[in-house]
Structure 1
Amino acid sequence: MNGNKTDMVGSSFPWSSVLVAMGTCAVMLVIGVYPVLAIAVLIVWVGTLWLSRPEPVVEVRVPDEGSVSRQAMVDLVEPFSVPVLMLDSQRIAAANAAAREALGPHIVGQDARVALRHPEAITLLDKPQGTVMVRGLTGARSIWQVRRVAIDQRFSLIEMVNRTAEADISRSHTDFVANASHELRTPLASIIGYIETLADPDAKVDAATAARFHNTVLRESRRLQSLVEDLMSLSRIEAEKHDLPREQIDLGLLAASIGSEVACTAGEERIAVQVTDAVVTGDRQQLDQVIRNLIDNALKYGDAGQPVSVEVARDGHEAVFSVTDRGEGIHPDHIPYLTRRFYRTDPGRSRAAGGTGLGLAIVKHIVERHRGKLDISSKVGEGTSVTVRLALTASPSKELS
């Protein structure tokens, strides 16, 4: 029997013997014994029976110590945020919510070798304790640090820490440094090469060639400057990504203002602006950067004979900003990677147009900081449309044109 319970045996009073004593007392009275003596005999007899009664037997049943310890450990591991398994020998006796989510609720009661089903993890189960890095445990690219700790000869705990994100960040940083170094080295090599030629007294460069070299150096220097500025801008945006903007900005008014500026330099026929008031909470400088980057991309890669369409509209509780060009379009295979740093669908064309490969990466990070949504749609031969959705903080009805 589980739980604390006390059983008492033999605690009832001997009433049958008392009845015999009372009967004997009655017989003594009948045969003429003094009543006082008969009552005294009755009292002595009953007292003797009371004193000689058996002591009650107390049986205390204690709970199963193993079941108490197991439940205590189950209660202990459940609040953990990382997956934790409790093993009874090699069988999974308990798994917290994080472990059930990572490996499935069916693992409780399974043999740990079947549940983990990975050679490196299974090797760990043959040791009383230790740590291994397991790749591909819950997905093709997943990386888990699995640690086993012995509690006693029977029970042990397995802790699983997901290192996938750390590995992705490390790989991303490595790729970024490699790409940035390549992007910086290319214009620098070009600048150094032309300057060395111009500085060589034996080169005998004529005036026309020298002028062409100077123009190339100037172009590459400006490209280098743009690349450094974009890298610094991306760094600032990432540093502020957890700080929510607080300024009230009319996105329609901002887009209309930037569109007018661009029309003055690129030509009225190159841009068509159609906007309405749409007040959002944001960072004015960063939203300005988003609008300019998207318009600049559309002008660079769109059809020069077709206008770029800039629109701001309201859709329910969202402000919708979109830029559409009528260019060559982008193949669907490229679209998922367009917001990666330095990703280009046509590297030669992008560099010739002065692109750094960071414009859409900057846009993506700014939109994420504003808790918005970024969508890129394109059809080959028809053009590309980039849409940004931000939550409205007010919805006035006045239209702008």
Structure 2
Amino acid sequence: MTPTDTHIRRRLGPWTATLLIVASMIGTGVFTTTGLLLADIGSPQAVLACWLVGGLLALSGALSYAELATALPHNGGEFLFLSRIYHPAVGFVAGVVSLIVGFSAPVAASAIALSLYLDRVFPGMPTLPISIVIVLGLSAIHAWRVTAGGRFQVLITSCKVLLMVGLIFVGWWRGDPSRLWTGTGDTFAAVLSPEFAVGLVLVSFAYTGWNASIYIAGELANPRRNIPLSLAAGTAIVTLLYLGLNAAFLMAAPAERLTGVVEIGHVAAAGLFGSDGARALSAVIAVGLISTISAYIMSGPRVYEAMGATYPSLQFLTGRGAHSTRGPIAAIALQALLAIAMALTASFEALLTYVGFTLSIFAALTVAGVIILRIREPQLERPFRVSGYPITPVVFVTLMLWMIWNSIGLAPGVAVAGGGTLLLGGALYVWFGRDSATAA
């Protein structure tokens, strides 16, 4: 048991955990990425293939994470796993990356996207400040009471999924299926191209969140059952929704009108319903983005709380107030401040690619850890074992390395930003690592 788990009661059930994953995944990326993919890859078929490969990649990663999370069922995510498997320094850097890249940056990107879609609904209003107020309000909800945050997550995510299903149905009903078979270039060649690998980096941002329930493992009832169940179910649900929704987008308007467009949901809705329909869909997407922001705020601070329980200099991050029913107040506040700072200073596109690239590095390290731990600690109790071992983790790591390598060649600026974040994490470890760490 980790230090931070001793005062936390297991209050959250499988439904909340599954919906947390769905809410974490469905958000900014799916409503902004397909137009960029069309510009880079070429054909609608290759774009859908990219979404399918991304979903299979997320599912294989989720199954691999489930083995680690059920063997080590405590709050902390990659911080806990990598500290145990490699070295506390690697886990610490992963925790810093989670704070900056894994949660604060996606909250910032979602807040920017929320402001763009709110501007479609309420033109002329100061939508970015409104989005920032929403971030602060959701942070307060999750800091106030764990179960209140969980109930809010169930309610808003259920509404979002129902709205997405409705959009998929209407898009398939009113769209033109022949548009799926238009476009330029050979689909098979496109799938094997470096551009497809970089496209997977963008898609991986849209699938970010498939591992969300591992961050609240210490608060899940019956984690050995509910962690793999929520990971597999949540990822499968989102993959099907993504394929259906993106096919609907591609059928809604000609490829040339969608190519390079960030706000593809608005353009697709205009093709299906006209300007009034596009405005209504922007409102729907805004609701979905609020759900995504809420999910990130619920998950991320548990990582920083685990770091605070390990390193005395960061102990302030463990504060939940006088009652264990509170969320980690200081950790939630720190994440909110970082997210707001990024939302005010960075562009949406920069955040999107930065998150996808940097998180791919640690996802690959974590899944590789499944193999390392099997070899090094064969006696460790594993309530869940990843199916298809070792093929499942090997395929995941190989594809991640392919994405990372091609991103370095085609998007060196992203690689520099990601590398800078790793160096920052290492420098902070040198400073705080003087504490007598108790991790791993």
Give the TM interval when normalised to the shorter protein. Answer: under 0.3
TM-score for the superposition, normalised by structure 1: 0.24
User: Higher strand share goes to which structure?
Assistant: 1
TM-score for the superposition, normalised by structure 2: 0.22
Q: Which has the larger radius of gyration?
A: 1
User: Higher helix share goes to which structure?
Assistant: 2
Q: Which protein has greater RCO, CA pairs closer than 8 Å, 6+ apart? A: 2
